[in-house]
């Protein structure tokens, strides 16, 4: 989807999009003589201009018939941020398969500044993303036709703001969605690495990959234990962005990358198991964020680390009751092989600390079904050992739309993962399952390191469409990390 900005509406054939604030019809003055008829039609439809609502009409315009889409923004002074993105996303969703090739969103007289106008473009670009690679028999009515969206009336600087700040985010989210959407026979640890390598080429990111032999040498028994039942060998992917100059501690983003999770010997039920292709959503978010940061030349030093494995049953698979030695030297009794993501993260976090000495670590993982019971599909769970870090991440989540809800950590929960034969076991009781999982990960965080864990099991994939994504991969986490960097590390 091409996003352009202009001072005035172009000539020629296009669909016209005009936003209205609730029942206020004043923005329709841009329609000239057609305004009266459009207002009458809206009144007949009982159109109240709620956010993301839309009314489609056809109007006479200079001797031709033009498609008009009136999009509601809600009442009040909703002009920036989320409201702007909803406007762009609603327009794109309604017109994507309409037969129109060009849409013009006219913001004239609505008071949009450059960033708000740019975020209309952001919402439109994000909502337009589709992945039709494996669809060979789409009906004509299902094929996307919309090629270009022109945003008018955003003021000077909107095009530059979109190009420098938000277009890189679109690229990053798109990479994440692509990786999460691909089936597990296409994306597995080795091909995940190669897909990322090709996608970030020329971005300035430094890329390093560890294979099984290298990880064995480092003593990554937890991560490799998860992978040993699969014919697909594990990988550790490291992406480095040095935009903040020399010196100082970097920030580390660590992602769980289980490219398919059967549960291993503790195998999952068959119903719905196909969804486990997105169990690498945390790693997907990390690489998408790293690409976005590199493309916009973020002034920060960041390292992204992805532990990539496939969790399969097999003759060599890890068994319940096995004891593994992690890179940190701590031992783990594996009670449940379906609690594998925390094993991967433990070794990946240890690697990050030993090799990069980060002051802050943020890990992202589709980790527990228990977080779904707590927060549904509306928020990701946030756990942290630092109140300031937690507050900043929640603020970034509110601004970006990747919402977080803080969950507790406590010694009483930590005791629940003590093992009678090893340093710890990889699961506690059913109650508080997302909390004991976070407590497990915290045991690998060294003293003095600020750490946050984001359990995004309910957010990587959606069974319903929203303002900035269709059903399927959401790209959750990319915008969160990007906004955190902008708000905290680039200040």
Within a 10 A sphere around the Cβ of 24, how many other Cβ atoms? 12
CB 290 within 8 A of CB 332: no
Half-sphere exposure of 420 (CA within 13 A, CB side): 2
Q: Is 308 helix (H, G, I), strand (E, B) or coil?
A: strand
Q: Name the burial class of residue 355, with classes exposed (0-12), middle (13-18) and buried (19+) by CB atoms within 10 angstroms of its CB.
A: middle
> What are the φ/ψ torsions at residue 135 (nearest 5 degrees)?
-95, 115
Can you tell me the distance from the alpha carbon of 429 to that of 44, in angstroms, rounded to the nearest whole number? 58
Provide the total of helices (H) and of strands (E) in the chain, helices listed first: 15, 19
Tokens encoding 400: 């970006």
How far apart are the two ends of the chain, measured CA to CA in Å? 32
CB 226 within 8 A of CB 182: no
> Rounded to 5 degrees, what angle do the CA atoms 316, 322, 327 make?
95
Catalytic entry in 165, 342, 425, 459? 342
324-342 burial code (b ≥16 CB/10 A, e <16)? bbbbbebbbbbbebbbbbb
CB 454 within 8 A of CB 254: no
CB 326 within 8 A of CB 225: no
Catalytic entry in 130, 195, 268, 406? 268
CB 18 within 8 A of CB 31: yes
In terms of DSSP bridges, do strands 54-61 and 64-72 run parallel, antiparallel, or are they unpaired? Answer: antiparallel
Can you tell me the distance from the alpha carbon of 125 to that of 135, in angstroms, rounded to the nearest whole number? 21
Question: Is 464 an active-site residue?
Answer: no
CA nearest neighbour of 190 among 254, 133, 237, 239: 237
Give me the residue label for tokens 């001072």: 7
Question: Is 459 an active-site residue?
Answer: no
Catalytic residue numbers?
Answer: 268, 342
């Amino acid at each position: 989807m091409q996003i352009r900005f202009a001072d005035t509406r172009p000539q020629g054939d296009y669909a016209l999009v005009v936003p209205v604030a609730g029942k206020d019809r004043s923005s329709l003055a841009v329609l000239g003589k057609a305004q009266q008829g459009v207002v009458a039609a809206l009144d007949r439809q009982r159109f109240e201009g709620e956010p993301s609502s839309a009314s489609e009409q056809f109007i006479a315009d200079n001797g031709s018939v033009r498609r008009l889409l009136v999009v509601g923004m809600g009442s009040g002074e909703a002009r920036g941020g989320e409201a702007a993105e909803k406007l762009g996303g609603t327009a794109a969703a309604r017109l994507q398969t309409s037969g129109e090739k060009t849409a013009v969103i006219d913001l004239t007289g609505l008071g949009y500044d450059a960033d708000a106008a740019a975020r209309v473009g952001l919402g439109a670009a994000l909502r337009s993303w589709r992945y039709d690679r494996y669809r060979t028999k789409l009906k004509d009515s299902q094929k996307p036709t919309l090629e270009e969206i022109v945003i008018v009336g955003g003021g000077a600087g909107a095009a530059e703001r979109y190009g420098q700040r938000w277009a890189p985010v679109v690229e990053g989210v798109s990479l994440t969605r692509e990786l999460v959407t691909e089936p597990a026979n296409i994306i597995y640890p080795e091909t995940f690495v190669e897909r990322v390598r090709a996608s970030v080429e020329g971005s300035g990111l430094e890329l390093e990959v560890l294979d099984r032999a290298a990880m064995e040498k480092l003593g990554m028994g937890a991560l490799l234990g998860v992978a040993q039942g699969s014919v697909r060998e594990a990988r550790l992917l490291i992406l480095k962005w040095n935009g903040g100059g020399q010196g100082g501690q970097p920030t580390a983003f660590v992602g769980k990358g289980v490219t398919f999770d059967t549960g291993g010997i503790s195998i999952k039920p068959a119903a719905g198991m196909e969804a486990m292709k997105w169990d690498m959503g945390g790693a997907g978010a990390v690489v998408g964020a790293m690409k976005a940061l590199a493309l916009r030349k973020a002034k920060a030093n960041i390292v992204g680390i992805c532990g990539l494995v496939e969790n399969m049953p097999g003759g060599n698979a890890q068994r319940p009751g096995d004891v593994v030695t992690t890179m940190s030297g701590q031992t783990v009794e594996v009670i449940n092989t379906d609690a594998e993501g925390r094993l991967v993260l433990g070794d990946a976090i240890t690697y990050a600390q030993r090799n990069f000495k980060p002051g802050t670590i943020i890990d992202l993982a589709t980790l527990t079904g228990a977080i779904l019971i707590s927060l549904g599909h509306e928020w990701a769970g946030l756990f942290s050992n630092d109140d300031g870090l937690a507050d900043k991440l929640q603020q970034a989540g509110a601004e970006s739309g990747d919402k977080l809800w803080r969950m507790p950590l406590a010694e009483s929960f930590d005791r629940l993962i003590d093992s009678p034969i090893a340093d710890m076991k990889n699961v506690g009781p059913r109650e508080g399952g997302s909390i004991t999982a976070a407590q497990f990960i915290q045991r690998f965080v060294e003293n003095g390191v600020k750490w946050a864990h984001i359990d995004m099991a309910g957010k990587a994939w959606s069974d319903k469409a929203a303002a900035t994504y269709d059903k399927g991969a959401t790209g959750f986490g990319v915008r969160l990390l990007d906004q955190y960097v902008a708000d905290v590390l680039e200040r």
